[in-house]
Amino acid sequence: MTTEMKDSTQPLFTFGIIADIQYADIDDGFNFKHTRKRYYRNSIRLLRNALERWNTENVKPLFILQLGDIIDGFNKRYNMSDQSLNTVMKEFDSSPAEVHHVWGNHEFYNFSRDTLLRSVLNSSVDFDSGGGLPSTGDIYAYHFSPAPGYRFILLDAYDVSLLGREESSVQYHQAITLLKAHNKNEDLNHPPARGLTRKYFRSLLFCEPRTMEALTGLEKRFVKFNGGFSQDQLDWLEGVLSSADHKLERVTIVSHLPIHPSSTDPICLAWNYDELLTIIQGHKSVVCFMAGHDHDGGFHIDHSGVHHLTLEGVIETPPDSDAFGTVSVYEDRMVLKGYGRTFDRLLMYPC
């Protein structure tokens, strides 16, 4: 190989990914169902491990994607929200690259939407690449292009939600109407009836979509700790993706909530995941969708060849392990190098 020829093993660029740090200066605990241990103090040590790794990689990441739930909701109860956010952001000071922050439910347990928009967690302020924001001012979504031919889009999965929205807002009204139509429980964090198993569902392939959703447990997503994407945001996304198609870009979309039922426990899905899927499957530029929220992680390649990666959560990762990754971007693929609980994955672009 001559020196002029491009070395195909050398990535065009790399980036880091990490999800659900949920830091709090409190003793270890458990998730709601008491099935998973949560290591609240140690999560900052695992973030440190990730940053140390990214700082010592041969090819330093160009940016880091922090996929939401950076501090835990318990901070609010102990009046430690600002203090804990400062602690985590101090760790990020040693980041070798710019950090893009996604917002999850725990951001809204700690802060109002207005506060978040004015906070260090609003990375759109630094990285909006010109006209990148939806026209409605308080949707936290933007896109950026770290290298020619590549675009990343951050979505606001709590745009229509009971979390972070004023009760008088249109979005709150839409959220409560939708939730109550699907969830009859007094406590809206408690999911609606489970539905039947997937095995039984296979024999019922031809039933109505709504019945199918109930039977497969997809209705479980209608809980207060999830949210959805407004029509304004979907219209904006359509526009960004049409432009990316036109420019023959490779697009990766990120949100706190996963949008493919096969990439997560359905209790973690965005409410209108189906509308998102329809949009991204209609745009050939999209190669990958990354999310957090389901701490067990998940992965699926949909019928359009789009990769749906749900990253394992730091908060439920034992102190002797890790949960983060470095993604190397090539002309025909992305390669995820996972650490600890996070798997290595080859993400070939759809043809």
Ligand X SMILES: Nc1ncnc2c1ncn2[C@@H]1O[C@H](COP(=O)(O)OP(=O)(O)O)[C@@H](O)[C@H]1O
Question: Per rule CB under 6 A, is residue 103 in the interface with ligand X?
Answer: no
Contacts of 158 (CB under 8 A, 6+ apart): 103, 104, 105, 108, 164, 165, 227, 256
- Closer residue to ligand X (CB): 191 or 227: 191
Q: Is residue 170 packed enough to be buried (19+ CB in 10 Å), middle (13-18) or exposed (0-12)? A: exposed
Q: Which stretch binds ligand X (CB under 6 A): 138-146, 162-170, 185-193, 303-311?
A: 185-193
Q: How far apart are CA 143 and CA 128, in angstroms?
A: 6
Question: Per rule CB under 6 A, is residue 187 in the interface with ligand X?
Answer: yes
Question: Per rule CB under 6 A, is residue 8 in the interface with ligand X?
Answer: no
Question: What is the identity of the amino acid at 217?
Answer: G
Question: Per rule CB under 6 A, is residue 190 in the interface with ligand X?
Answer: yes
Short-list 78, 140, 156, 142, CA closest to 110: 78
Among 108, 111, 140, 225, binds ligand X (CB under 6 A): 225
By beta-carbon distance, which residue lies closest to ligand X? 189
Q: How far apart are CA 293 and CA 318, in angstroms?
A: 17
Q: Which stretch binds ligand X (CB under 6 A): 44-52, 55-63, 75-83, 187-195?
A: 187-195
Question: Per rule CB under 6 A, is residue 43 in the interface with ligand X?
Answer: no
324: β partners: 339
- Closer residue to ligand X (CB): 224 or 307: 224
Q: How far apart are CA 237 and CA 289, in angstroms?
A: 13
CB of 223 to ligand X, least distance (A): 7
Residue 40 contacts residue 34 (beta carbons within 8 Å):
no
- Closer residue to ligand X (CB): 167 or 187: 187
Question: Per rule CB under 6 A, is residue 186 in the interface with ligand X?
Answer: no
- Closer residue to ligand X (CB): 108 or 150: 108
Question: Per rule CB under 6 A, is residue 90 in the interface with ligand X?
Answer: no
Question: What is the identity of the amino acid at 189?
Answer: N
Question: Per rule CB under 6 A, is residue 105 in the interface with ligand X?
Answer: yes
CA dihedral angle for residue 48, residue 51, residue 53, residue 58, rounded to 10 degrees: -160
Q: Is residue 76 packed enough to be buried (19+ CB in 10 Å), middle (13-18) or exposed (0-12)? A: middle
Among 83, 189, 262, 278, binds ligand X (CB under 6 A): 189
Among 8, 31, 86, 242, binds ligand X (CB under 6 A): 31
- Closer residue to ligand X (CB): 46 or 237: 46
Short-list 17, 47, 10, 8, CA closest to 288: 17
How many residues bind ligand X, per CB under 6 A?
9
Sites of contact with ligand X (CB under 6 A): 31-32, 105-106, 187, 189-191, 225
